[in-house]
Amino acid sequence: MNRHLNLYTPYGSLPATHEDQLTRAAVTIMRAIPLARDAVLARLSAPPSARLPEPEFDIQTGQVVELPESESEDEAPVIGELISVFVSPDVALDLSEKELAEREDHGQRLDGVLRFGHELVIVIESKIVGKAPRGQAERLNLDGAEVDKTRVVQLGSSAAKAGGCT
């Protein structure tokens, strides 16, 4: 697990303007301010955090769900709902019809993950340029975990959608 949330220290050799800074800032705010976390949950049409288990936050991880070492793959957890969030400046991008698919390769680097136990898991993929590939948000390696319900959602600037932002 990598809980490095210092906004001013990039990972490795990544420039400070990299998309990972955007994800770390969002996760830091959601971790520190429950009202901000609930605003994001409401935007995703998810239950408020008061009705969910205590959240865990993860950055730059390869795992959607962390399996305890005592659990075997035969006893993989069942996730109630998995929401894959694609954060981008694209306006009017509708991913509601997209089905979340299993990645064919096992390598992945998830920008951010919010876990509310096994009840709700939110995976965040951030892009800072428009028309970026969406594959990382549409295909995830679940490491054998079963999921009852999945969704892919795009979040962008609501002000830009309303035409009030440049």
Domain count, the chain: 1
Alpha helices, H only, the chain: 19-32, 34-43, 135-138, 158-161
Whether the CA torsion 95, 43, 146, 55 is positive or negative: it is positive
Give the separation between CA 17 and CA 10, rounded to whole angstroms.
9
Does 9 map to a domain? no
Does 124 map to a domain? yes
Q: Tokens 């994800």, residue?
A: 23
Does 46 map to a domain? yes
Q: Tokens 């009030």, residue?
A: 164
pLDDT in the model for residue 159: 37
Both tokens of residue 30? 């959601």
> For residue 145, what are the domain limits?
19-62+76-161
Q: What is the pLDDT of residues 53-100, one digit of tens each?
A: 999 999 888 888 876 665 555 677 899 999 999 888 777 677 776 777
Give the separation between CA 148 and CA 132, rounded to whole angstroms.
29
CA nearest 155: which of 30, 10, 55? Answer: 30
What are the φ and ψ backbone dihedral angles of 146, each rounded to 5 degrees? Answer: -95, 145
Does 2 map to a domain? no
Please identify every stretch of the chain with a pLDDT value under 70, giving residue numbers as ranges.
Answer: 1-18, 67-74, 92, 97, 106, 133, 157-166
